[in-house]
Amino acid sequence: MNNAPVVCRDLHKGFPSGDVRIEVLVGLDLEVAAGEMVAIVGESGVGKSTLLHLLAGLDIPDHGEITIAGQALSRMDARQRSVFRNRGIGLVFQFHHLLPEFTALENVVMPRWIQGGNRSAGRSSAIDLLNRFGLGTRLDHHPAHLSGGEQQRVAIARSLINSPMLLLADEPTGNLDTRTAETVFGWLRSLNRREGLTVILATHNPRFAGICDRILQLREGRLFPKEPGNGGTNPGLGAFKVNAALE
Ligand SMILES: Nc1ncnc2c1ncn2[C@@H]1O[C@H](COP(=O)(O)OP(=O)(O)OP(=O)(O)O)[C@@H](O)[C@H]1O
Ligand SMILES: [Mg+2]
């Protein structure tokens, strides 16, 4: 599948809160080119996760249009959105949401099996991905027997098993120690650069935001460009050994 451009037009999303309604996204526009890696930053509660959920088709906007790889999510019903997501979108969250009763290998291969197709081919792709992430000796470990960084690597491997055209990551390194977070972030950047995978991620970490192609700040329901260096100096890609990652 090709890497996807993403376009949002005039997105509105609010939630009921008692008798009132909190308007979170208010006429938000977004354009991300295929192969771009964009960081969404902003204070807690501004709506970063809300936006990523809409992009993933996990929730629907009150108004406005989301188009991914030329396909309008609003024209899809819930089942079509779910098929579209499973085939084309990789999701990584702060907490990995691995299935505790399954091994690392089973967790990674699951989205492929859900899609149907050849079981053994899915298995060998999952093994390849886990090897690439340095987890070749952890295939049969259950999540409880993996470190936090290993669990997050399994989650990233799982997000890539169906060769997505878009990777959405919500605080992907939020619960990791600084060193592991840098390594995991380096893998994401490397994937983006080597395979041209479109990446949109929410992060509170200005250093990580600073090595993305573009930073957008979510404020008062809309996105505004933010210069790298303004609250997050660009540390240079070498700091994360981006090119060495995944080799
Ligand atoms: N399902 C929901 N029902 C009601 N309110 C919600 C729901 N989801 C989000 N909200 C509200 O919408 C606002 C935006 O939440 P969101 O999780 O998108 O923020 P965020 O920018 O991701 O914050 P953080 O940086 O803390 O993760 C918050 O005020 C939150 O309480
Ligand atoms: Mg959030």
d(CA 99, CA 133): 19
Query: What single-letter DSSP state applies at residue 100?
Result: T
- Nearest protein Cα to ligand 1, atom 29: 45
Helix (H) / strand (E) element for 52: namely helix 48-55
pLDDT range class, residue 54, cuts 50, 70, 90: very high
pLDDT range class, residue 203, cuts 50, 70, 90: very high
* Ligand 1 within 6 A of CB of 22: yes
Identify the residue with better confidence: 149 or 20: 20
Is 80 exceeded by the pLDDT of residue 244? no
* Ligand 1 within 6 A of CB of 49: yes
Of the listed ligands, the closest to the CA of 45 is 1
Residue % of the chain over a pLDDT of 90: 69
Backbone phi and psi for residue 224, each to the nearest 5 degrees, phi listed first: -130, 140
**How confident is the model over 190-214, as a mean pLDDT?**
93
Structural domains of the chain sorted by starting position, each given as residue range(s) with its CATH number in brackets: 6-240 (3.40.50.300)
Q: Locate 50 and state its tokens.
A: 């809300």
d(CA 42, CA 61): 20
Identify the residue with better confidence: 22 or 242: 22
**What is the pLDDT at residue 233?**
41
**What is the pLDDT at residue 1?**
52
**What is the pLDDT at residue 191?**
87
Question: Count of CB atoms within 10 A of residue 55's CB?
Answer: 24
Is 70 exceeded by the pLDDT of residue 242? no
d(CA 22, CA 83): 30
Question: Count of CB atoms within 10 A of residue 120's CB?
Answer: 7
d(CA 97, CA 135): 18
Nearest residue to 90 (alpha-carbon basis) of 55, 136, 38, 59: 55
Q: Locate 160 and state its tokens.
A: 């890539």
Q: How far is CA 228 from the centre of its chain?
A: 20
Q: Locate 200 and state its tokens.
A: 């949109």
CB neighbour burial string for 78-109, b if at least 16 within 10 angstroms, e if fewer: eeebeebbeebbbbbbbebebeeeebbbbbbb
Q: Using most ligand atoms within 8 A of CB, pick from 12, 50, 216 the residue to mutate for ligand 1.
A: 50
* Ligand 1 within 6 A of CB of 153: no
- Amino acid residing at 219: R
Q: Cα dist. 76→51, 61, 82, 180, 246 in Å?
A: 18, 13, 9, 38, 35
**What is the pLDDT at residue 239?**
40
Q: What mean pLDDT, rounded, does the chain reach?
A: 89
Compute the chain's Rg from CA coordinates: 18
**What is the pLDDT at residue 88?**
93
The pairing of beta strand 37-41 with beta strand 214-219: parallel
CB–CB of 210/228 below 8 Å?
A: yes
CB–CB of 202/169 below 8 Å?
A: yes
Q: Locate 210 and state its tokens.
A: 């600073």
**What is the pLDDT at residue 154?**
94
Q: Which atom in ligand 1 lies closest to the alpha carbon of residue 52? A: 18
**pLDDT tens sequence across 146-193:** 998 899 899 999 999 999 999 999 998 887 888 888 888 888 898 899
